[in-house]
Structure 1
């Protein structure tokens, strides 16, 4: 958890929890956000904002309990419902298999969080929701 405590000034004054991402995920997600600007402007803007405020660490330095690409996450919604999903890039997304794209409001909200972190996110219909990360399993390849 030492990596999670470094650079706390970056999110000082923010209502959002700290976001930690690997150098590789940061580069890929920043490029993905830029490329999705025209098709998915709201989500692309939010993803870019998350990458702008992220603490970027070496690929091997992301703690296992932090949500990254390929992580399986259990989160609790503001309605109390728990859901287990795996965060993936758009081509691998399959909602019937609980694989959600990073280019969804929930996917963007989850990246970089750890158990106990809560975040508010806006649905495509404009309504605001909240979720809390319950648990995180690192990507299978780790």
Structure 2
């Protein structure tokens, strides 16, 4: 996924908790040789994020362990929990932060949308409908 600018001409603002930013940065660094495309995708999202102290993280922002309700293009809405790769299980609606959709969800809040070009070159649009808070230890699990 290469994110593209929104109709307003820029990517949506995203916010990430300091502890999650550190863990996800380490994950991207570890993946750089094994899966450079996933590492680059995650690193790009982390680079543009506003980083805040964990205690100051506002509610309603997609974090690790959050359940996001979202829509891709004009498809039916769906829900998924954002998780670290080892916890991903699509049959349980647990999506890895290393997937294009997972990376797109990271740091977004309800009402925000992001556009990107899929592998086939077709433009896609993900819109966040609602965010349900992460379980208390979700960010530390894994």
5+ long unaligned stretches in structure 1: 1-12
**Larger helix fraction of residues:** 1
Shift of 1:44: 1.3
1:1-142 paired onto structure 2 within 5 Å: 15-141=10-136
Q: How far 1:125 moved relative to its partner? A: 4.4
Distance 2:106 2:9 in 1: 16
Q: CA deviation at 1:92?
A: 0.4
CA 1:134–1:49: 2 relative to 1, 3 Å:
same
Give me the whole-angstrom Cα distance separating, in 1, the residues matched to 2:126 and 2:15: 18
The answer (yes or no) to whether the contact 1:67–1:112 under 8 Å persists in 2 is yes
What is the Cα-based RMSD across aligned positions, in Å? 1.7
Q: CA deviation at 1:14?
A: 5.8
For 2:33 and 2:120, locate their aligned partners in 1 and report how far apart those are by CA, in whole Å.
18
Match of 1:9 in 2: none
Count of matched residue pairs: 130
TM-score (norm 1): 0.84
Which segments of 5 or more consecutive residues in structure 2 lack a partner in the other structure?
A: 1-7, 138-142
TM-score calculated relative to the size of structure 2: 0.84
Q: Distance in 1 between matches of 2:101 and 2:119?
A: 10
Secondary structure of 1:116's match? coil
> Aligned residue for 1:8?
none
The C-alpha deviation readout for 1:10-46, integer Å capped at 9, x for no partner, is xxx9621001000001001111111112232222112
